[in-house]
Amino acid sequence: MTIIVTGGAGFIGSNFVFHMLNKYPDYRIVCLDCLTYAGNLSTLAPVMDNPNFRFVKESITDREAVYKLFEEEKPDMVVNFAAESHVDRSIENPEVFLDTNIKGTAVLMDACRKYGIKRYHQVSTDEVYGDLPLDRPDLFFTEETPIHTSSPYSSSKAAADLLVQAYHRTYGLPVTISRCSNNYGPYHFPEKLIPLMIANALNDKPLPVYGKGENVRDWLYVEDHCKAIDLIIHNGRVGEVYNIGGHNEMTNIDIVKIICKELGKPESLITYVADRKGHDMRYAIDPTKIHNELGWLPETKFADGIKKTIKWYLENKEWWETIISGEYQNYYEKMYANR
Ligand code: NAD
Ligand code: TDX
């Protein structure tokens, strides 16, 4: 079995590469990643010498490079994690989101059509469903919830999902789609809420909470997401969408307070800043389908997962300190200068 994992130098993709190489010692895992600001080759250092692993630095939007890779590797499956993934960046500059998230997905699927494939899996997000109101805790996203996006990021992911479904119906491509809630864990890029707050708190820097901090996200430990995708690509039904989430809804402000407590830092570091434009209020996944069909359940409780995550950031300072210097610093200063 040869699997092309795109975006494998990013947060979830790298965790998936580790999971697959560990669990399936006879699989060949080929990581296709063009190493944007969010991709980090040092993340993959532990598997670089593994004979079952190959890293290829190319963009999923480069048709020629993608076709060449398919000719060389003749993959059985493709799992597409590669994307521009940060909502705030999409609000600043949507264009690259359209290019990578939409066009890149089409190029990958064209390669799958041309060379044949057993499964194309699209890693999508709960953000394609839009948001839920805070005063209706009885409402959850199911696979039947209409697509109703808020940001350029989520719109580009929704467009990609629609293309995936179109390629299934029109060309009979054997696809699956998963829509997961917010992940957290090791190798999470420190522009996202949890790693940003950990890094800032450790540096005694202000903790910028958007708006009133009342927005709710449904947090899932990254390993649980990887296990769900593993189940879907092996046992999921072709043409289906599977929601992934662990019924772990929390407000942003509660998350930040937990991080302060775990690190022994004062809550006075919390700084309320201007809200994100078009900020989604609440995400909440109904994971009944993946539980009933594939027996998936999240294994990591938030109380344990956040401790493990904080421990990882304490033990891997070099990884994130390198990242928050350089180009990222310019982005950070620009993002927060006017808030
Ligand atoms: P990330 O930003 O950490 O990593 C993205 C990776 O894709 C990077 O390694 C980057 O170099 C690579 N990449 C970007 N553009 C590329 C291109 N044109 N060609 C090849 N590689 C490219 O993202 P993440 O948080 O790990 O998210 C991975 C996937 O999961 C994305 O598709 C995202 O939409 C989805 N998702 C993320 C979350 C979350 O909470 N992080 C939740 C649900 C779904
Ligand atoms: O500094 C911050 N302050 C703050 O209050 C940041 C970076 C975020 N926030 C808020 C915005 C959100 O309500 O925290 C919440 C989480 O923000 P992000 O970490 O940026 O994640 P989110 O916008 O929810 O999107 C994430 O989950 C779904 C991923 O980045 C997406 O790729 C995924 O599809």
Give tens-digit pLDDT for 134-155.
999 999 999 999 999 999 999 9
Mutate which of 81, 217, 222, 335 for ligand 2? The one with the most ligand atoms within 8 Å of its CB, which is 217
Query: How high is the pLDDT of residue 304?
Result: 98
| Phi, psi of 79, rounded to the nearest 5 degrees | -115, 115
Of residues 126, 191, 230, 280, which has the active-site annotation?
Answer: 126
126 annotated active-site: yes
**Residue of the CA atom closest to atom 31 of ligand 2:** 85
Question: How much is the pTM?
Answer: 0.97
Instruction: Name the DSSP class of 104.
Output: I
Domain ranges for the chain: 2-185+219-247+280-299
For every residue of 76-103, which 3-state class applies, written as one string? CEEEECCCCCCHHHHHHCCHHHHHHHHH
pLDDT at 338: 56
Q: Check residue 290 and give its pLDDT.
A: 98
- Select which of 153, 184, 187, 283 is catalytic: 153
| Weakly modelled stretches of the chain, pLDDT under 70 | 327-328, 336-339
Residue 118 is classified by DSSP as S
The pair of structure tokens assigned to 279 is: 């900020």
CATH code of domain 2-185+219-247+280-299: 3.40.50.720
Angle between helices 63-73 and 105-115 (to 10 degrees): 40
- Please compute Rg for the chain using Cα positions: 19
Residues with CB under 6 A from ligand 1: 6-7, 9-13, 33-36, 38-39, 59-61, 81-85, 100, 104, 123, 125, 157, 180, 182-183, 189
Contacting residues for 292 by C-beta, under 8 A, at least 6 apart: none
Q: Which pLDDT value is given to residue 223?
A: 98
Taking the CA of residue 83 as reference, the ligand 2 atom at the shortest distance is 32
Q: Which ligand is nearest to the CA of 198?
A: 2
Q: Which two tokens stand for residue 321?
A: 């300190």
Question: Going by C-beta distance under 8 Å and a sequence separation of 6 or more, which residues neighbour residue 226?
Answer: 12, 15, 16, 19, 20
